[in-house]
Amino acid sequence: MISENLRGFFCAAAWLLIVIGVVIAVGHGLRMVGFFSPPIVSVNQGPVFQGLSVMGSIFAPIVQGGILLSLLSIDERIQNRGH
């Protein structure tokens, strides 16, 4: 069981991971599409693969942050059950 302060820190870190990860992934996707300056290294990929790559990079931080939030919720329930 972790303390309330540490749980709050990890909760804030999980939400920050989600927000920053999605913003970076969207920026990367916009750069791949051509809204910003093109990337330094360009790999000739089809549009389907580019779309899947961007979607995967958007969903990855959401899943990682969600798993951390779920584990924090489980820890809180276990700690509350003991009282």
- Do the beta carbons of residue 68 and residue 18 sit within 8 Å? no
Question: Among 5-14, 25-34, 35-44, which stretch is predicted with the lowest mean pLDDT?
Answer: 35-44
Please give the model's pTM, rounded to 2 decimal places: 0.79
Q: Give start and end residues of each alpha helix (H) in the chain.
A: 4-33, 47-81
Mean pLDDT of the chain: 87
Residues present in the chain in total? 83
Q: Name the residue range of residue 60's domain.
A: 4-81
Write the pLDDT tens digit of every residue in 32-64: 777 777 666 666 677 788 888 889 999 999 999
Tokens 């700690």 locate to 79
Count of domains for the chain: 1
- Do the beta carbons of residue 27 and residue 20 sit within 8 Å? no
- pLDDT for 2: 87
